[in-house]
Every structure is written in C-alpha cells, then in structure tokens.
Amino acid sequence: MKGLFITLEGGDGAGKSTQIRNIESFFTERGFVVVHTREPGGTPIGEKLREILLDKNNKEMDPVAEMLIYAASRAQHVAEVIRPAIEEGKVVICDRFTDSSIAYQGYGRGLGDMVSEVNARATGGLEPDITFWLDIDPETGKERAKQVGEPDRLELEKMDFHYRFYEGYKAMAMEHPGRIKRIDASMTPDEMKDAIYAHLERLCAKDQ
C-alpha cells in the first residue's frame, strides 16, 4: 500500500508544532506508522544545510544561492527519507515543503517561476496529498513568535518580506484548492485541530 504525504505551511507563530503533534496522533491512533520530519533538514546532510540557511551571520547570502540550498536539502530529503517512507506505506508528516520555497524565495525574494522549476527537479515531481496552510497575518504571527525564542535569519527580515510571502501563500491556496487547505490560525488550537481532523477524515475515506 502506498502511504500518505502531508505537509504543514505558514508563517511564524501559526502554531504548526501543536498541529503536527495532533496529526501524528490522528494517524497513530488509527494504526499507521508515522514519520515526522521537517525542512530545511530531515537528513544528516539537510541538517547541515539548515545550519547554513538559518545562521544569522550569513547576511550576505545571495537569494538564488539561498533558494538552491533549500532545494538541495529537499532533494536529499525526498530521496533519503520521504519517498522510501511513502513507498513503505507510512504516513509522512513534513513541517514545510516546496510551498515554503515558492512563498519565501519565489514571492518573498522575488525569484518567481524559477523556484517551482528547480523544485520540480529537486522533488522529482513529488507533491503532498494534502497541505495545511495555517493562516496567520504577519503582524500577529510576529507578536506570537516573539514569545517563543530567538528569531532565525529569515524571521529577522523586514515586515514587507513577511507580507510578500504571506501573499504567496494566499495565491497558492487559491491556485490549488484541492490540495492546500487553509486553516484559520486565529482559532484556538482545539478548533484548529477539529478543522484539520475533518479534512483528514475525508482524505482517509477517499483513500479506501
């Protein structure tokens, strides 16, 4: 049996970690083997690339170089972890995937279509079965994220960068309504969980 590939997307402070734990419970309670992973990272090589990408001292990083390093981490991740797990019938839950690159590098840095072209190569065309976009407006997200910890290199970007990638997520959600499910992150964590579970119930029913 083929497994499932589920991704979570959204800006800072949207509450992704809590919902990832909820999704994990949804599937383990139903007897599935779950692989929980993240980007950038998810493999030993990817975790090294992650350090480079998020390092606050790498202020001079060129936007194209940045996009290619995210894509390099993703290519390794798909080959080493994601594709084999799906083929073994597991449920892969990934914190961020290609949509993050389209939002942050495509819209945020203004690299446009180049990002989807490079990523189609990096992933071999692999797309999630379902993506939850936890929608939080950039100002609220920033306030919430402040309470969590030190900002990384991307989080330190000016607010207009945050608004640009937010617009990217909005545009992608409109473009792919079948795959990308918008979850209003101004709801309570329990309300968000209920909304996500309703989508997962439908996905599982469809898959049988």
Amino acid at 46: G
Residues 8-27, mask of contacts with ligand TYD (x by CB under 6 A): ----x---x-----------
State both tokens at 40: 């950038």
Closer to ligand TYD by CB, 12 or 200: give it. 12
Closer to ligand TYD by CB, 12 or 135: give it. 12
Residue corresponding to tokens 């599935």: 32
Closer to ligand TYD by CB, 80 or 152: give it. 152
**How far from 201 is each of 23, 159, 171, 180, 194, CA to CA, in Å?**
11, 37, 26, 15, 10
Closer to ligand TYD by CB, 26 or 161: give it. 161
Does 155 help bind ligand TYD (rule: CB under 6 A)? yes
Q: Is 145 helix (H, G, I), strand (E, B) or coil?
A: helix
Contact 134, 19 (CB under 8 A): yes
Residue-level length of the chain: 208
Output the smallest distance, CB 76 to ligand TYD, in A.
13
Residues in the site for ligand TYD, rule: CB under 6 A? 12, 16, 38-40, 54, 70, 95-96, 100-101, 104-105, 152, 154-155
